[in-house]
Amino acid sequence: MSAGASPSSARDALTFAADAGIHCLAVPTPFAVGRVNCYLVDDEPLTLVDTGPNSGKSLDELERALASHGRTIEELGLIVLTHQHMDHVGLLEVLVRRSGAEVAALHLLGPYLADFKTSVAADDDFSHEVMRRHGIPDDMATVLGAVGVAFRAFGSRGRVTQELHEGDELALRDHTFSIMHRPGHSPSDTIFWDADRQILIGGDHLLAHISSNPLIHRPLDPRAPRTRPQALIQYIDSMLATRELPAQVVLGGHGEPIVDHAGLIEERLRLHDRRAEKMLRMLEPEPLTAHEIAVRMWGNVAVTQAYLTLSEVLGHLDLLARDELVREQVDDGVVRFEAVR
Ligand SMILES: [Zn+2]
């Protein structure tokens, strides 16, 4: 790649970012998604975007990755968080203890991380209720809840010292990032836009290889209605806003960087349209619960990854309901969706 040219491959994109002082550090996780990408912004203060999960193996690898750039954990001056998931925030407390770094994150994350245990327990209660209401048998929901509890150890509490809001700027000596709140994958998704270099640090808002799942989360904003959030509708709005950014490179939270984010967003939108149509056809003969639809679409995966697939189905049903193509029937606390004729 010649200097100044637009990167056209994932490899060029990493070089483009590295030339701008932004280095990808891929840290292992115990989750199905594989490695998580943290980013070292070589600036003043020395900045790390996301931490990796709370495990000894991740800490070792993060340390080695920092060392390959001649840096140590103790030198970190600022830790920035893209969203609330454990693979992105789990080492926060350990890294802050060792470095004394400041922590910058979306304002909604402060209270969430301050009392992490209570927050995830409330998340688990919320998902249990969503599962029960949408047709996942109670014993299955209980087993899934227990798996969730086992994974909590990979998270961490932490103290946010600098709250970020939509429209704020995060200014380092040489980089200035505009802060944009892009909920969908999670309610706290925050993206960091370096307009000078046309580089976007996107967390899990947009990923190259996996359609970023709009998980149904408990709302973090205390003013939000207590009803189930419409995660896919939110996510589509967020993607439409991101499509407008003139980004050369989007650095994602997993996998390779993205060089054609507008094209990728178009592809995702088409995928969501096709899935919604497929679900509507499934509902034509008879009303079904969201879980029954998930089982018909993905078979056993709808059992092993029940919450993920349930979130996906509900997202598409929300799109259909918005267009008045389906409606809910509630019977004994369980929701079935029927096609509107
Ligand atoms: Zn995530």
**Integer Cα distance of 249 and 200 in angstroms:** 6
Distance 287 CA to ligand 1 centre (A): 32
**Integer Cα distance of 194 and 177 in angstroms:** 5
Tell me: the pLDDT tens digits for 176-234? 999 999 999 999 999 999 999 999 999 999 999 887 678 899 999 888 777 788 999 99
| Integer CA distances (angstroms), 50 to 2, 217, 278, in order | 30, 20, 37
**Integer Cα distance of 235 and 231 in angstroms:** 6
Tokens of 147: 């798996």
Distance 1 CA to ligand 1 centre (A): 31
Distance 171 CA to ligand 1 centre (A): 25
Distance 126 CA to ligand 1 centre (A): 18
Give the distance between the most distant pair of CA atoms in the chain: 65
In the block, tokens 């004994």 appear at 332
Outline where the chain has alpha helix (H).
Answer: 10-19, 56-67, 86-89, 92-99, 109-114, 116-133, 138-151, 231-243, 261-283, 290-298, 301-304, 306-322
| Window from 20-24, 139-143, 198-202 with minimum mean pLDDT | 139-143
Q: What is residue 1's predicted lDDT score, i.e. its pLDDT?
A: 42
- 3 falls in which pLDDT band (50, 70, 90)? very low
Question: What value does the mean pLDDT take over residues 112-132?
Answer: 92
Distance 222 CA to ligand 1 centre (A): 21
Tell me: the pLDDT tens digits for 250-273? 999 999 999 999 999 999 999 999
